[in-house]
Amino acid sequence: MADTCGQVLLGSGLTVLSHPLMYIKVLIQVGHEPLPPSLGRNLFGRQVYQLPGLFAYAKHIIKIDGKVGLFKGLGPRLCAGTIGTVVHSKVVQTTKEMIARSCATIVTHPFHVITLRCMVQFIGRESKYSVDSIVTVYREEGILGFFAGLIPRLLGDVLSLWICNLLAHLINTYAIDDSVYCCCFLLVHTLFFASMLTYPFVLVSNLMAVNDCGLAGGLPPYASVYPTWVDCWRHLSREGNMSRGNSLFFRKIPAGKMYAIEQKRFF
């Protein structure tokens, strides 16, 4: 019990610290670009037009909503983290890690949906989802509304777990150098590799969680109305947007797209 409480406190602290980063990433994933491209320099010192990075985006949000505005959706996200930690710690004692993680994801997904919708309200300056978010979702979409975007999220979690475990097995079996530096190096690259491969599932899941929910960020022009998550995946793939929001620094202008300052997005 003490271990679980410690994990909850640690997880909550990390969630609070990382929340502004997730908030900005979600807005970028949806396609909201409130600031026009500016002339800057890339890693090689060459002058190129770049999209605003993490800090510029954060300053824009603070200018509109104040510093507190960076923490929209924090409440339901903390609930999701706490419940997920408790469920995972209880289930993993008797079942494999994959089942434990899947159970935690399913139980916490309703809070994840509410978190994303609270964040996306920034685009249209809406207040539809607030204290009574649970009632709003249930009244308009029923039970299924709480699980919008669940399937790609589950697939991404399971794929990430299998990749990490497989690579860890290969490293332990075939790694020649057992030094701490080597292990840390391989661990970081393993996590990066898994994150890169599973990011499209995260993106599609987040978009489906806000898709056609009555918010500007989930409707045209920011997003098409997708019948299923597979349609969303195919559309993003055709548009070359499968990695949108993956990087918050040195962001490139989408190839072949024009910036529309009135709608604050690319076409």
Tell me if 267 is assigned to some domain: no
Q: How many domains does the chain have?
A: 1
Helix pair angle (74-91, 97-124), 10° resolution: 180
| Residue 149 backbone zone (phi > 0: left; psi -120 to 50: alpha; other: beta) | left
Tell me if 9 is assigned to some domain: yes
More confident residue, 71 or 255: 71
> What are 243-263's pLDDT values in tens digits?
999 988 878 887 778 887 777
Instruction: Please tell me the predicted confidence (pLDDT) of residue 4.
Output: 73
Distance in angstroms (rounded) separating the CA atoms of residues 215 and 263: 15
Tell me if 134 is assigned to some domain: yes
* CATH number for position 118: 1.50.40.10
> What are 160-171's pLDDT values in tens digits?
888 877 777 666
> What are 86-142's pLDDT values in tens digits?
876 665 644 567 888 888 899 999 999 999 999 999 999 999 998 899 999 999 999
* Domain boundaries, position 238: 2-255
Distance in angstroms (rounded) separating the CA atoms of residues 28 and 265: 9
Tell me if 265 is assigned to some domain: no
Tell me if 260 is assigned to some domain: no
Tell me if 98 is assigned to some domain: yes
Instruction: Please tell me the predicted confidence (pLDDT) of residue 182.
Output: 59
Tell me if 85 is assigned to some domain: yes
Tell me if 262 is assigned to some domain: no
> What are 39-49's pLDDT values in tens digits?
877 777 788 88
Helix (H) or strand (E) segment spanning residue 117 = helix 97-124
Cis bond upstream, residue 36 (ω within 30): no
C-beta separation of 129 from 210 below 8 A: no
The whole-model pTM stands at: 0.87
